């Protein structure tokens, strides 16, 4: 297996004609065969970055190598390898499902292959709708059509721009099953989302983009470990009005009703201090009836990252 | 060369045409028939021959050109404007096709449709007026060249337009007047001397004159000039489209 990155982005910036800088000096490598999730709020630059890689938007600066080819000089080779599912449901209303998927295959330079198109349509539960006009389909079905179009030319890199937007649970599950299958067959998948649980569930690596800057790129597990906070929650037998001063050494908070003590700690630290804290509590006669711990979700991490980066800017 | 890509675009565009067959074909044929009834029969019967060609026959090449220009422009401009409007252009922009291939697909389909329509109008005209074609090969040549050139021009309008109004404005305010003043219904020799000079700035004069020459062997301007002017306009359009794709003007920015 080739260990070179399948996509290598160097110093890419994009300033739109109106002066808005959507991307600022982006450097990113996408590994072959991974699922990479690009997280960011609306307007953070996710779609622009995808657009630049796929050839929809011209970059103002920087270079991108995809599948071994420069995306500008060797655009044919690059684009033949890439499939793109756009965020918006852009479809040709009057075309049939079969016609539009076959069109995509041809447009991307592949000879007709009805058996393959049939397989794609069957995989996406579109086979029964193959002769239906696209405008007669529901939003979820249109999303499937867009995925079928993107897969029609057998791409090795698949971009999914906000694939879960406006999609029901069933389709979402179908879609993720399909994404996993594609990955198992060696397809590299880059998805953007603001559903963090999706990234948490699916991705191997995660990049966070904020105001056009890539603020972190990390293995999902590492990111969770590195930035994850754990909380220990103690439900007290006797409510207390304030935290005793003897416990000032720990980062403790008391819930408003005085019934629970919350201790936040960093999972990375050698000494979490839990054992000592529990001993100290019993020394002071503070008894508790329940104890639970929780890990921060990717969502918490994301929010704190975005806040940090805004903090450093201002 | 992405042959499959060209074929996909071409077929897509032709399918669009056949979906709207009634308005694509019936409307121009009906309009032309009306022109023949009004100008050819009703008014034409009271007019003298022009260079020994009856007035009804004289206007045929002009009418074909009138339709050819309008149809070429509207087909091609609509063809590329629709994906822009519907957002489906993302696929074209992300596809491994060069600007030449995009043009061959879109302009090829638009020109095909206009040529078919031009021939259909010639057939319709035969029902009203007897005529003969002196140089049939040249006639086909002019038909093709004009269809391609103005489909290309329409393609540019479609790229430039960012609203349906803009899509209509050039054909309505520029092309239709130029066609009417381009000698579709008269020989420019009938104009006062000053206007004969002014009218030479109208590119449509060269198209109609050359096309009419292929029918009746008579022309307002030299045939070589007609061919040269058409090729010139074609070249200007090609350079513009090349520049659009090179810089990404309006579509990739």
pLDDT for A120: 92
Q: Per-residue confidence at A311, pLDDT binned at 50, 70, 90?
A: low
Q: Which residues of B touch A16 (CB under 8 A)?
A: 253
Q: Per-residue confidence at A2, pLDDT binned at 50, 70, 90?
A: low
Q: Per-residue confidence at A274, pLDDT binned at 50, 70, 90?
A: confident
Pairwise CB contact (< 8 Å): A107 & B19: no
B202 min Cα distance to partner chain A (Å): 35
B41 min Cα distance to partner chain A (Å): 41
C-alpha separations of B31 from B7, B36, B64 in Å: 32, 9, 11
ipTM attached to this prediction: 0.84
Cα–Cα distance for residue pair A126/A130, rounded to 1 Å:
6
A213: left (phi over 0), alpha (psi -120 to 50) or beta: beta
pLDDT for B249: 67
pLDDT tens figures, A248-257: 777 788 888 8
pLDDT tens figures, B86-127: 889 999 999 999 888 999 999 999 999 999 999 999 988 888
Cα–Cα distance for residue pair B188/A110, rounded to 1 Å:
52
Q: Is the pLDDT of residue B252 over 70?
A: no
The answer to whether the CB of A263 falls within 8 A of the CB of A299 is no
Cα–Cα distance for residue pair A86/A47, rounded to 1 Å:
9
Summarize the confidence of residues B226-249 as an average pLDDT. Answer: 85
Q: Which of A81-90, A182-191, A283-292 has the lowest mean pLDDT?
A: A283-292
pLDDT for B250: 65
For residue A242, count CB atoms less than 10 angstroms from its CB and return exposed for 0-12, middle for 13-18, buried for 19 or more: exposed
Cα–Cα distance for residue pair B90/A2, rounded to 1 Å:
30
Q: Is the pLDDT of residue B194 over 60?
A: yes
Summarize the confidence of residues A287-302 as an average pLDDT. Answer: 78
Tokens 């879609």 locate to A175
pLDDT for A167: 75
Summarize the confidence of residues A61-80 as an average pLDDT. Answer: 93
Which member of B4, B15, B90 has the closest CB to residue A110? B4
Q: Is the pLDDT of residue B174 over 60?
A: yes
Q: Per-residue confidence at A269, pLDDT binned at 50, 70, 90?
A: low
Q: What percent of chain B has pLDDT over 70?
A: 98
Cα–Cα distance for residue pair A176/B31, rounded to 1 Å:
55
Instruction: Give B 82-141 residues with CB within 8 A of chain A.
Output: 86-88, 90-98
Instruction: Give B 156-195 residues with CB within 8 A of chain A.
Output: none
Q: Which residues of B touch A86 (CB under 8 A)?
A: 87, 90
Pairwise CB contact (< 8 Å): B15 & A54: no
Q: Is the pLDDT of residue A304 over 70?
A: yes
A157 min Cα distance to partner chain B (Å): 13
Q: Which of A158-162, A276-280, B150-154 has the lowest mean pLDDT?
A: A276-280
> A205 - beta bridge partners?
A36, A219
Q: Is the pLDDT of residue B195 over 80?
A: yes
pLDDT tens figures, B136-172: 999 999 999 999 999 999 999 998 888 888 888 888 8
> A231 - beta bridge partners?
A264, A294
Q: Which 8-state DSSP code applies to residue A180?
A: H
| CA-angle at A35, arms to A34 and A39, nearest 5° | 135
Grouping H, G, I as helix, E, B as strand and the rest as coil, residue A53 is: helix
CA atoms within 13 A of residue B185's CA, in its CB half-sphere: 15
pLDDT tens figures, A15-38: 988 889 999 999 999 999 999 999
Summarize the confidence of residues A143-159 as an average pLDDT. Answer: 94
Grouping H, G, I as helix, E, B as strand and the rest as coil, residue A14 is: strand
pLDDT tens figures, B24-60: 778 878 888 888 888 777 777 777 777 778 888 888 8
B186 min Cα distance to partner chain A (Å): 43
Q: Per-residue confidence at A314, pLDDT binned at 50, 70, 90?
A: very low
Please write down the HEC assignment for all residues of A72-90: CCCHHHHHHHEEEECCCCC
* Number of CB pairs, chain A paired with chain B, less than 8 A apart: 84
pLDDT for B137: 94
Q: Which residues of A touch B93 (CB under 8 A)?
A: 54-56
* Residue bearing the bigger pLDDT, B127 or A150: A150
At CB < 8 Å, which residues of chain A contact B? 16-17, 54-58, 75-80, 82, 84, 86, 88, 90-95, 99, 102-112, 149
Q: How many CB atoms lie within 10 A of CB A240?
A: 12
Task: For residue A22, give the chain B residue with the closest CA.
Answer: B253
A169 min Cα distance to partner chain B (Å): 26
Q: Which residues of A touch B97 (CB under 8 A)?
A: 107, 109
Pairwise CB contact (< 8 Å): B252 & A99: no
Q: Is the pLDDT of residue A104 over 60?
A: yes
A291 min Cα distance to partner chain B (Å): 54
Q: Is the pLDDT of residue A191 over 80?
A: yes
Q: Which of these, B117, B114, B148, B145, lies nearest to B214 by C-alpha position?
A: B145
For residue B81, count CB atoms less than 10 angstroms from its CB and return exposed for 0-12, middle for 13-18, buried for 19 or more: buried
pLDDT tens figures, B61-85: 888 988 899 889 989 999 999 999 9
> A214 - beta bridge partners?
A209
pLDDT for A205: 93
Q: Per-residue confidence at A63, pLDDT binned at 50, 70, 90?
A: very high
User: What does the mean pLDDT of chain B come to?
Assistant: 87
Q: Which 8-state DSSP code applies to residue A111?
A: P
């Amino acid at each position: 297996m080739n260990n070179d990155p399948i996509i290598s982005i160097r110093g890419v910036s994009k300033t739109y004609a109106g002066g808005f800088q959507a991307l600022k000096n982006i450097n990113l490598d996408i590994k072959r065969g991974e699922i990479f999730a690009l997280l960011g709020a609306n307007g953070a630059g996710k779609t622009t970055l995808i657009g630049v890689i796929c050839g929809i938007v011209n970059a103002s600066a920087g270079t991108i190598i995809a599948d071994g080819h420069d995306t500008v000089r060797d655009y044919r080779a690059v684009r033949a390898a890439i499939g793109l599912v756009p965020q918006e449901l852009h479809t040709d209303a009057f075309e049939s499902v079969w016609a539009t998927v076959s069109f995509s295959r041809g447009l991307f330079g592949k000879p007709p292959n009805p058996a393959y198109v049939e397989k794609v349509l069957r995989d996406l539960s579109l086979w029964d709708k193959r002769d239906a006009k696209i405008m007669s389909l529901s939003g979820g079905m249109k999303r499937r059509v867009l995925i079928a179009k993107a897969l029609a030319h057998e791409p090795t890199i698949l971009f999914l721009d906000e694939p879960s937007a406006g999609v029901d649970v069933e389709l979402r599950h179908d879609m993720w099953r399909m994404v996993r299958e594609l990955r198992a067959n060696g397809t590299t998948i880059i998805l953007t989302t603001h559903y963090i649980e999706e990234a948490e569930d699916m991705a191997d690596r995660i990049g966070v983009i904020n105001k056009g800057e890539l603020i972190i790129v990390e293995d999902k597990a590492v990111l969770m470990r590195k930035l994850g906070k754990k909380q220990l929650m103690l439900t007290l037998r006797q409510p207390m009005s304030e935290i005793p001063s003897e416990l000032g050494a720990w980062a403790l908070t008391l819930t408003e009703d005085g019934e629970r003590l919350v201790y936040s700690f960093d999972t990375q630290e050698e000494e979490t201090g839990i054992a000592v804290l529990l001993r100290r509590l019993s020394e002071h006669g503070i008894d508790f009836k329940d104890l639970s711990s929780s890990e921060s979700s990717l969502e918490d991490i994301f929010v704190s990252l975005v806040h940090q980066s805004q903090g450093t800017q201002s | 060369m992405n042959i499959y890509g060209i074929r996909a675009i071409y077929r897509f565009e032709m399918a669009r045409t056949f979906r709207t067959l009634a308005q694509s074909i019936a409307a121009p044929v009906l309009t032309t028939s009306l022109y023949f009834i009004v100008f050819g029969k009703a008014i034409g019967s009271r007019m003298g021959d022009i260079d020994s060609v009856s007035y009804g026959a004289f206007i045929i090449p002009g009418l074909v050109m009138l339709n050819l220009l309008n149809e070429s422009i509207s087909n091609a401009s609509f063809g590329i404007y629709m994906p822009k409007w519907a957002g489906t252009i993302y696929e074209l922009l992300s596809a491994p096709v060069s600007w030449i291939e995009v043009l061959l697909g879109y302009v090829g389909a638009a020109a095909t449709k206009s040529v078919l329509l031009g021939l259909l109008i010639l057939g319709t005209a035969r029902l009203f007026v007897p005529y003969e074609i002196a140089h049939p090969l040249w006639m086909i040549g002019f038909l093709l060249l004009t269809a391609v050139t103005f489909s290309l021009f329409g393609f540019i309008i479609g790229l430039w337009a960012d609203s349906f109004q803009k899509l209509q404005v050039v054909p309505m305010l520029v092309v239709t007047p130029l066609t009417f003043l381009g000698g579709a219904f008269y020989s420019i020799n009938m104009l006062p001397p000053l206007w004969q000079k002014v009218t030479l700035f109208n590119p449509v004069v060269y198209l109609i004159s050359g096309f009419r020459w292929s029918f009746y062997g008579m022309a307002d301007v030299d045939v070589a000039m007609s061919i040269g002017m058409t090729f010139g306009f074609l070249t200007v359009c090609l350079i513009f489209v090349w520049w659009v794709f090179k810089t990404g003007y309006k579509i990739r920015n």
